[in-house]
Amino acid sequence: MLTRDPLHTAAASPDGALLITTIPIMNTDDELKDHPDNWAECLMTAYVKRMIYQTKGFPRPLNRNAAPTYDISPVAGKGAGMVATRRIEVGETICDERPLLVIPAIMTPLTTPDLSFMKTATREQIVQAKLAEFEKTMIMMVERMPQENQDAYKTLHNCHKHDGSGPLTGIMRTNGFGLADHIRDKGMYRSSCLSSSSK
């Protein structure tokens, strides 16, 4: 059976090679109903992918609370937010889910933009050209998702509609948050999840 991105792709790639992959690895015909813990579409280096798969106990099942700790509800003047539904004890897990997307914090497109105009372009124009090019990478990643995840991702809020970000990049810039870990490859990553993102 074909996998979305075989682990040997990372094994055969140099440390700094960027890969579009799934974590954990899924087959192209897998469906969410068969994987209740979901999976993340990722743009990461081969080094980070190898380190993740060498982590003891990976992938672990998600920790689901018997009694939910929150609800996604409208908050006056703020849109939707996570609202506690009961008392939450110190150290208690509030939410444990896989992100929909993981990308490098410094958004590096997989395609090479035409920057021949840079000598006469303003800084803002250069940033917008790079954002437009990164949108092509985001399209590739989102189109790999199951339809349910695509729909869920596209419902997230986007406050970057007027700065040159494409719609998918704008959603990530609005909802993404940094991931810190012991696995480092000279950079950090950001992710976008459903329950912890604004809608």
Q: Residue 153 and residue 171: Cα distance in Å, rounded?
A: 8
Residues, the chain = 199
The residues near 65 (Cβ < 8 Å, ≥ 6 apart) are 92, 93
Q: Residue 199 and residue 197: Cα distance in Å, rounded?
A: 6
pLDDT tens-place string over residues 106-164: 777 777 767 677 778 888 888 888 888 899 999 999 999 999 999 989 988 888 888 88
Q: What is the pLDDT of residue 1?
A: 33
Q: Among 196, 166, 167, which Cα is nearest to 179's?
A: 196
Would you say 32 and 145 are in contact if contact means Cβ atoms under 8 Å apart? no
pLDDT tens-place string over residues 79-113: 677 889 999 989 888 888 888 999 888 777 777 76
What single-letter DSSP state applies at residue 199? Answer: -
Q: Is 123 exposed, middle or buried (CB count within 10 Å of its CB: 0-12, 13-18, 19+)?
A: exposed
Give, for 178, the enclosing helix (H) or strand (E): strand 177-179
Q: Is the dihedral of CA 30, 175, 179, 14 positive or negative?
A: positive
Query: Which tokens belong to 170?
Result: 């704008």
The residues near 141 (Cβ < 8 Å, ≥ 6 apart) are 20, 41, 43, 101, 103
Give, for 83, the enclosing helix (H) or strand (E): strand 79-84
Lowest mean pLDDT among 7-21, 58-72, 140-154, 176-190: 176-190
Q: Residue 191 and residue 193: Cα distance in Å, rounded?
A: 7
- 73 vs 6: which has the higher pLDDT: 73
Q: What is the pLDDT of residue 64?
A: 76
List beta partners, residue 42: 21, 102
